[in-house]
């Protein structure tokens, strides 16, 4: 079984660019990934591409071959849809294909065009990742769903909105030096607490923005990397995936993420590591409470204690385990189909020492990327390690 090397990554800036199509965005990200990798396009065996709302935002299905064309490759191409975990799922399958020896070189990534729909249109489009019969038709949107999860957490374990505010402040601070981030501006705890309320207890600054953007990653087998003398010091050594019931009312717990726990346990076991080995992580913080649930599901914080991790400095850039050094979904942005692949790109750059925030984790050798769909009915987790 081959190690899967990260040969090159490419990201567009995340932000509000309604005039740009997803094929335009993915073409830009792919160009950057190929340039960094030094891998010729004709060596690519397959494309694995994540996208969630293309039919709604661009009236475009069958995006796999379209994005292969945009990336300048001629290879079999498959689109993956798993809500906000779409490109996380694409990465998982790409890793398995390379490991199994079916492919030597794959291009994996994703893109999303959202802002052209406007706030109301994008909110409606995102809502279809919930249970239409029992949630969407009742008027539930994701801010409301995550507010229910936050309140359930407070009821079970304690905590308050100010604890969540520290997560938003931390992630905005991390985004200041990330030129790909949508929001490169600092905020204070008071800004979070005084912002308009979206769905109690969550406010405007507890929520990630609507974003356009793309991410692309060139993965190769270890044999290919060695044969072509690639500069690829980081490998994906563990992969896992988990699922949960779709609708919140069907779940045993609202303040837990069993899908993420299963994915994390599988990825750790696959890589031969445990949570204590993790030096840094990019986790799916679509809302501030989501970061708390992710930390606990991944055993990076004990259950019931993740709520104070940012406030107490355990997850800040200079803390024990820095979380979301990219700025996270909260400040870097969340073009949903691109997010999972972008997390892989961020972790790889942090470990390779080429990220603007790598100085915060100079001795790091192990990182984790956690990507979630909906209210974490889907989750993927990947372990990345420095291997040379």
Q: Is 334 a catalytic residue?
A: yes
Contact 238, 387 (CB under 8 A): no
Give the phi and the psi of residue 35 in degrees, each rounded to 5: -60, -45
Q: How many CB atoms lie within 10 A of CB 204?
A: 15
Cα–Cα distance for residue pair 259/1, rounded to 1 Å:
26
Helix 336-352 with 86-99: angle, nearest 10 deg: 60
Matching residue, tokens 């050594």: 237
Distances (CA, A) of 332 to 155, 182, 204, 211: 30, 5, 15, 9
Per-residue tokens: 323? 């979380």
Question: 344 and 236 in contact (C-beta within 8 Å)?
Answer: yes
- Check 84, 161, 208, 286 and give the catalytic one: 84
In the beta sheet, which residues pair with residue 9?
A: 217
At residue 20, what are phi and psi to the nearest 5 degrees? -95, 135
Active site residue 249: no
The burial of 133, by beta-carbon neighbours within 10 Å (0-12 exposed, 13-18 middle, 19 or more buried), is given as exposed
CA atoms within 13 A on the CB side of 177: 14
The DSSP annotation for 11-66 comes to EPPPB--TTS-HHHHHHHHHHHHHHHH---GGG--EEEEE-SSHHHHSS---HHHH
- Max distance between CA atoms of the chain, in angstroms, equals 57
DSSP 149: H
Phi and psi at 202, nearest 5°, equal -90, 140
Q: Find the catalytic residue in 172, 334, 355, 370.
A: 334
Write out the catalytic residue numbers.
84, 334
């Amino acid at each position: 079984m081959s190690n899967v090397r990260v040969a090159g990554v490419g990201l567009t800036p995340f932000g509000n660019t309604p005039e740009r199509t997803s094929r335009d965005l993915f073409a830009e990200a792919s160009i950057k990934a190929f340039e960094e990798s030094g891998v010729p396009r004709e060596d690519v065996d397959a494309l694995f591409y994540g996208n969630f709302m293309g039919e709604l935002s661009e009236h475009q299905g069958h995006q796999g071959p379209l994005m292969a064309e945009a990336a300048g490759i001629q290879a079999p191409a498959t689109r993956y849809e798993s809500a906000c975990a779409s490109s996380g799922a694409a990465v998982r399958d790409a890793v398995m294909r390379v490991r199994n020896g079916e492919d030597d070189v794959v291009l994996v990534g994703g893109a999303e065009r959202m802002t052209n729909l406007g706030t109301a249109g994008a909110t409606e489009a995102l809502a279809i990742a919930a249970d239409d019969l029992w949630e969407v038709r009742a008027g539930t949107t994701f801010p409301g769903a995550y507010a229910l999860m936050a309140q359930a957490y407070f009821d079970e374990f304690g905590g308050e909105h100010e604890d969540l505010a520290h997560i938003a402040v931390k992630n905005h601070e991390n985004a200041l030096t990330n030129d790909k981030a949508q929001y490169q501006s600092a905020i204070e705890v008071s800004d979070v607490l005084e912002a308009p309320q979206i769905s109690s207890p969550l406010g405007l600054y507890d929520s990630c923005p609507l974003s356009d953007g793309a991410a692309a990653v060139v993965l190769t087998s270890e044999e290919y990397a060695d044969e072509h003398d690639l500069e690829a010091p980081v490998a994906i050594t563990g992969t896992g995936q988990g699922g949960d019931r779709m609708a919140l009312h069907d779940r045993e717990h609202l303040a837990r993420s069993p899908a993420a726990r299963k994915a994390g346990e599988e990825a750790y076991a696959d890589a031969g590591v445990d949570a204590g080995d993790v030096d840094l992580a990019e986790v799916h913080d679509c809302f501030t409470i989501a970061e708390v649930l992710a930390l606990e599901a991944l055993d990076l914080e004990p259950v019931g204690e993740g709520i104070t991790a940012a406030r107490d400095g355990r997850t800040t850039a200079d803390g024990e385990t820095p979380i979301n050094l990219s700025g996270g979904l909260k400040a870097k942005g969340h073009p949903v189909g691109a997010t999972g692949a972008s997390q892989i790109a961020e972790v790889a750059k942090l470990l390779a020492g080429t990220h603007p925030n790598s100085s915060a984790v100079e001795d790091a050798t192990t990182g984790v990327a956690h990507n979630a769909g909906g209210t974490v009915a889907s989750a993927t987790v990947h372990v990345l390690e420095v291997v040379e």
